[in-house]
Amino acid sequence: MTQNYDAIVIGAGVVGVSAAFHLAERGLKPVILERKEIASGATGRSSGLVRMHYDLEADSRLAWVSFQYFRDWRNRVGGECGFTRTGFLFIESPEHIQAMRANVEMHKRIGIPTDVISSADVKKLVPSFNTDDFEFAAYEPESGYADPVLTSNSFLTAAKALGAVYVQDCVVTGIDVANEKVTGVKTTRGDFSAPIIINTAGAWAAWVAEMAGVKIPLDTWTHDVAHIRRPAEVGEHPTVIDSSQNMYFRPDSGGLTLVALEDDNRLGEPPDSEVGYVAKDFVERAVERICRRIPAMEAGSLHSSHVGRDGLTPDQRAVIGAAGPQGFYLATGFSGTGFKTSPAVGLCMSELILDGAAKAVDISGFDPGRFERGEFLKGEHDYGNIWR
């Protein structure tokens, strides 16, 4: 028997459950179909940074709108998201300092609390840091990190309270189209009918899109993460993207520091391939780099490591919008930066679907057709690709 809904969301990562929540807020009854369980893909392995520093204005605007959710989560969504304010530092290599200054001015224009500070200011802020190799950094005092699994579960709980339905262990095997309009999906748990389908399937999104006759240039990005036990002499530190070292890191509970690298990530692995083990030399490289920035981390020790995987587009920017048959939408290809923008992306998807255009943020630049037109997204003051 076919089960009828107002919308079908494919994938219960944080973007999917955000979209379902915002649609349910607007009075629709969506069903979320998940091949495993909530946050079992990229979301569950996300590092959870909450910051607004981007070189593309639309990304910064999405992050800024999302930040309003993270810092007022209980009132806006309910439950917990685990947001922890640590402050955020963005350290760039010398050739990008002017771009960084220009981007900080763009962020200020949006309303983001941020500024460019000197290395001496950084040293006062974090005495444990080595600051000899850079002159300036961008600083966001209100930013930090949140818990992606808590965030996803809170979105799902709130969506279900508004009438959404969640079905896990449910693999989509086909998308039904009639008269150039989507009508529903076939799955391992029966047929579901709806005039709206949102593909938020992460690394599997290209495979899902093909069922609707839509081709998107989506590769995969596999990243390694380590947790280091932080020596007492290091103390607390901000969340940091240290592009001069091709690294990012943040504090975590239990006296840990999460460390990940921006270079030598594994690209192009099949979505279903093993993600159980980090690359052979990853931990050694990560430890070496965190010790360059925080020399006292030499006295630390490895706590754990894990691997995550996300969809990666040619310009390393998201794919958001309508594509193919009427009623089919994409919100995918976030290329490792989807968590921090997920509240705004879900809001914008609901506006696009129900109002004809997103109002909270102009997301037209993320149009899925841009690649076919050869229109890659690039910041006005570009830093280049994040993942190398």
Q: How far is the C-alpha of 65 from the C-alpha of 62, rounded, in Å?
A: 5
Q: Please tell me the predicted confidence (pLDDT) of residue 277.
A: 82
Q: Please tell me the predicted confidence (pLDDT) of residue 386.
A: 81
For the chain, the average pLDDT equals: 96
The predicted model scores a pTM of 0.96
3-state secondary structure of 57: helix
What torsion, rounded to 10 degrees, do the Cα atoms 286, 291, 296, 298 define? 60
State the sign of the Cα–Cα–Cα–Cα dihedral 230, 233, 235, 238: negative
N residues, the chain: 388
Contacts of 210 (CB under 8 A, 6+ apart): none
Q: Is 384 left (phi over 0), alpha (psi -120 to 50) or beta?
A: left
Indicate the helix (H) or strand (E) that contains 353.
helix 342-355
Q: Which amino acid is present at 385?
A: N
Q: Please tell me the predicted confidence (pLDDT) of residue 344.
A: 98
Q: Is 135 left (phi over 0), alpha (psi -120 to 50) or beta?
A: alpha
Q: How far is the C-alpha of 61 from the C-alpha of 78, rounded, in Å?
A: 23
Q: How far is the C-alpha of 257 from the C-alpha of 227, rounded, in Å?
A: 6
**Pairing mode, strands 7-10 and 197-199:** parallel
CA Rg, the chain, in Å?
21
CB 331 within 8 A of CB 199: yes
Looking at residue 183, what DSSP letter applies? E
Q: What is the full per-residue pLDDT of the chain (388 aa) written as tens digits?
A: 789 999 999 999 999 999 999 999 999 999 999 999 999 999 999 999 999 999 999 999 999 999 999 999 999 999 999 999 999 999 998 999 999 999 999 999 999 999 999 999 999 999 999 999 999 999 999 999 999 999 999 999 999 999 999 999 999 999 999 999 999 999 999 999 999 999 999 999 999 999 999 999 999 989 999 999 999 999 999 999 999 999 999 999 999 999 999 888 888 899 888 877 898 899 999 999 999 999 999 999 999 999 999 999 999 999 999 999 999 999 999 998 899 999 999 999 999 999 999 999 999 999 999 999 999 999 999 998 887 6
CB 386 within 8 A of CB 336: yes
Taking Cα atoms as reference points, which of 198, 182, 208 lies closest to residue 350? Answer: 198
Sketch out the chain's domains with CATH numbers: 3-46+149-218+315-370 (3.50.50.60), 84-142+219-308 (3.30.9.10)
Q: What is the pLDDT of residues 196-240, one digit of tens each?
A: 999 999 999 999 999 999 999 999 989 999 999 999 999 999 999
The number of angstroms, rounded, from the C-alpha of 84 to the middle of its chain's C-alpha atoms is 17
Q: Please tell me the predicted confidence (pLDDT) of residue 264.
A: 82
Q: Please tell me the predicted confidence (pLDDT) of residue 2.
A: 82
Helix%, strand%, coil% for the chain, nearest 5 = 30, 25, 40
